[in-house]
């Protein structure tokens, strides 16, 4: 029998200064219910990583006016949840791609029925029972690995500036000042389906005890640098604390929705 692992999970979401929270998240089989306080959500729990199961975590950041963005991200999360719940073989990663394609179809259908524009980013983490993990993402909601005191972006930042930086066509300084960070290259709800060609996959790769994996909406990295994040995590494993720091840094007049979902993987 191999080593047993558990995952400490911490998640938080806030409306910021916006009129609604357009983010949605999925914590394995628990769909987010943002509770009584509009747009705010907090979750803390430890789970055992069982040998006969894979675990799924999703963050979606909706785009669209009025209630469109909120609905787009909600549809995507519900579609992915529904498709993964049907799986007999929870380790089949091809089925995850199919679930994401179904989410895209459902968001498109909603937009067309209501004659709306918009969509949602999507970042998905799959924790396997063989000490490996896989990630899937479309858009610019980051997935971050913190290991041995260092922080790595393991998803793809699918906006024009992010891709230019990845391909070393601009410097980090030019990236920080670029307006092209707002130009997404991929999202669910693209009626042309061209965005699906940008669906990014990374894995499977092995995790080890002490790893922290973080899924977030893009407001997190827009406000906090790696040193601040690492210092906070070293002090306290708490997603709501990261959100508090983000709100402190950002201009309160333009405080975007922020969602952070973190897992700390530990050997029992």
pLDDT tens profile 92-149: 788 899 999 999 999 999 999 988 888 999 999 999 888 899 999 999 999 999 999 9
| Predicted local distance difference test score (pLDDT) of residue 38 | 47
Q: In the numeric block, which tokens belong to residue 70?
A: 């909120």
CB contact at 8 A, 22 and 66: no
| Predicted local distance difference test score (pLDDT) of residue 225 | 84
| Predicted local distance difference test score (pLDDT) of residue 67 | 60
Q: In what order do the strands lie in the sheet with 5-14?
A: 41-49, 5-14, 258-267, 212-216, 143-147, 150-153
- pTM of the predicted structure, to 2 decimals: 0.89
Q: What is the pLDDT of residues 75-92, one digit of tens each?
A: 999 999 988 888 766 667
Integer Cα distance of 265 and 224 in angstroms: 23
What is the number of other CB atoms lying within 10 angstroms of the CB of residue 44? 14
| Predicted local distance difference test score (pLDDT) of residue 108 | 95
Q: In the numeric block, which tokens belong to residue 3?
A: 């080593």
Q: What is the CA radius of gyration of the chain?
A: 17
- Please choose, from the candidates 151, 155, 168, 147, the residue with its C-alpha nearest in 3D space to the C-alpha of residue 126: 155
Each of the 268 residues of the chain gets a pLDDT tens digit; together they read 467 889 999 998 887 667 777 888 999 866 655 443 445 667 888 888 887 788 999 999 988 765 678 899 999 999 999 888 887 666 678 889 999 999 999 999 999 998 888 899 999 999 988 889 999 999 999 999 999 999 999 999 888 888 898 888 988 888 878 888 888 888 999 999 888 888 999 989 999 999 999 999 887 887 788 898 999 898 888 888 888 888 777 665 556 778 899 999 999 8
State which H helix or E strand residue 258 sits in: strand 258-267
Question: Exposure pattern of 114-123 as b/e (b: 16+ CB <10 Å)?
Answer: eebebbbbbb
State which H helix or E strand residue 98 sits in: helix 93-113
Arithmetic mean of pLDDT over the chain: 85
What is the number of other CB atoms lying within 10 angstroms of the CB of residue 49? 22
Question: Exposure pattern of 125-151 as b/e (b: 16+ CB <10 Å)?
Answer: bbbbbebebbbbbbbbbbbbbbeeeeb
For every residue of 116-176, which 3-state class applies, written as one string?
CCCEECEEEEEECCCCEEEEEEECCCCEEEEECCEEEECCCCCEHHHHHHHCCCCCHHHHH
Integer Cα distance of 120 and 124 in angstroms: 13
Q: How far is CA 4 from CA 23, 53, 65, in A?
A: 33, 13, 46
């Amino acid at each position: 029998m191999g080593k047993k692992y558990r995952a400490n999970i911490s998640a938080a979401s806030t409306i910021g200064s916006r009129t609604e929270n357009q983010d949605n998240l999925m914590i394995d089989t628990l769909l987010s219910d943002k509770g009584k306080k509009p747009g705010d959500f907090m979750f803390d729990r430890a789970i055992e990583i069982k040998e006969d199961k894979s675990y799924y975590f999703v963050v979606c950041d909706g785009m669209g006016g009025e209630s469109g963005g909120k609905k787009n991200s909600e549809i995507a999360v519900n579609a992915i949840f529904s498709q993964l719940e049907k799986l007999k073989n929870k380790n089949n990663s091809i089925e995850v791609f199919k679930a994401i394609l179904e989410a895209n179809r459902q968001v498109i259908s909603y937009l067309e029925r209501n004659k709306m524009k918009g969509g949602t980013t999507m970042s998905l983490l799959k924790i396997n029972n063989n000490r490996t993990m896989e990630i899937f993402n479309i858009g610019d909601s980051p997935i971050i690995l913190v290991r041995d005191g260092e922080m790595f972006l393991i998803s793809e930042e699918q906006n024009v500036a992010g891709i230019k930086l990845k391909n070393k066509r601009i410097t980090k300084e030019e990236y920080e000042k670029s307006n092209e960070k707002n130009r997404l290259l991929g999202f669910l709800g693209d009626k042309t389906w061209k965005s699906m060609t940008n669906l990014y996959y990374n894995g499977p790769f092995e995790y080890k005890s002490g790893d922290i994996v973080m899924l977030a909406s893009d407001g997190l990295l827009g406000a906090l640098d790696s040193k601040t994040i690492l210092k906070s995590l070293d002090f306290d494993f708490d997603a709501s604390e990261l959100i508090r720091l983000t709100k402190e840094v950002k201009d309160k007049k333009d405080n975007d929705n922020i969602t952070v979902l973190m897992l700390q993987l530990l050997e029992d």
